[in-house]
Amino acid sequence: MVKMIKFKGDFSELFSRREEFGESVSEVVAKIIADVKERGDAALMEYAQKFDGVVLKSLEVDKEEIEEAVAAADPRFLNTLTLAKANIEKFHRRQRPKGFKVRYGNGVVLGERVSAVKRAGIYVPGGTAAYPSTVLMNAVPAAVAGVEEIIMITPPGKDGKVNPNILAAAKIAGVSRVFKSGGAQGIAALAYGSESVPAVDVITGPGNAYVAEAKRQVFGKVGIDMVAGPSEILIIADGEQNPEFIAADMLAQAEHDTLASAAVVTGSELLAEKIAAALERRLSLLDRENIARNSIENFGRIIIVPSLDEALKIAEYAAPEHLELLVKSPRELLSKLKNAGSVFLGEFSPEAVGDYFAGANHTLPTSGSARFSSPLSVRSFTKRTQYIRYTRRALKKYGEGIADFAVREGLTGHAESVKVRLKG
């Protein structure tokens, strides 16, 4: 069922990239974006009927529906949402960037100001599952950053309503307005605005291939967090680990999507065999067994390596979204790693803790992009503005050199803008 590989130094067969945005996806998305730009709400309503199978009377979720969702929610769930929000806030407050000002002397002052974007849009997937955790992980950092207005979009259900757990999370997280729109059309509405949906400055949140491609296409009109691919986990395990824990963690990832990837790297052939057996046993325990089974059969890997050093090389090559270190000294191993979205240390830190509750963000770089990009954070909702001040004395001291620099680039207008002040 799961693919067993004895690693011999060749990375080529270890991880196949699961999804490319083909020409057909790009073309479909481009047409949808153009249509929403031209027809606004009318297009969004038609796409809701076409893709979600529902005729909407209004795109916006009214306040009463949100309050009803909160009132009807399980108190234990509301308590967990509230505690999770507090953890996310506590972690993300430490990320708040600070500006600075530097006086160089001679009348020269330089600085940088940090400010939040005015309006952020967050995408919360619907479809095969509802994700209130995504609401918290996107909205709370935006609120901590100081974003004035947080706009959430999510696909409606067949009844024309938004999942009540998502609405409860939106209320607790501080979302300003919620709209019933998903897919590429929802991203287009956030980027360009419609009669109902306000245009935003930054779009964050995960989605399918069409959502990811739409975010790629509107980048430049708005900022985006990342273009995310299918979810993935890599587990490094020594021979002393519990195979049931490892199999459970692999399946927790696999149940997301048939394209999700779950891999374990170990030096123990015996452990590898026990994990494979545990996977087959535990699959039947899942409500989403078919999805998880497809994922494990196609993209599950148990990689047997001769040493821990080889396991580290694989992790650095893969740059996984989630990396679990199930080894005797996980903190020691952590210090040797650079490429991962989020790292989970030890056997009692499963990925699910990070997905829902711990406080670190679960919106993470995928498909090897952790080599150069970072998790969603407060910084995703802020921007920096530089400022410069030269006094007359400062410009007199450095002006001739600046003008000469401009002339050497062939930009005499730049030079004259300095010289005219020196003459004065």
3-state secondary structure of 49: helix
Beta-strand relationship, 261-266 and 108-116: unpaired
Compute the distance between CA of residue 363 and CA of residue 237 in angstroms, rounded to an integer.
Answer: 24
Decide: 368 and 377 in contact? Cβ < 8 Å.
no
Compute the distance between CA of residue 335 and CA of residue 342 in angstroms, rounded to an integer.
Answer: 13
**Region of residue 336 (phi > 0: left; psi between -120 and 50: alpha; otherwise: beta):** alpha
At CA 96, angle to CA 94 and CA 97, rounded to 5?
125
* Residues known to be catalytic: 321-322
Rounded to the nearest 10 degrees, what angle do helices 243-254 and 269-283 cross at? 50
**Which residues contact residue 309 at a Cβ distance below 8 angstroms, ignoring those fewer than 6 apart?**
none
Q: Which residues pair with 114 in a beta bridge?
A: 384
Sheet with strand 108-116: strands edge to edge: 100-105, 108-116, 382-390
- The helix (H) or strand (E) run that includes residue 11 is none
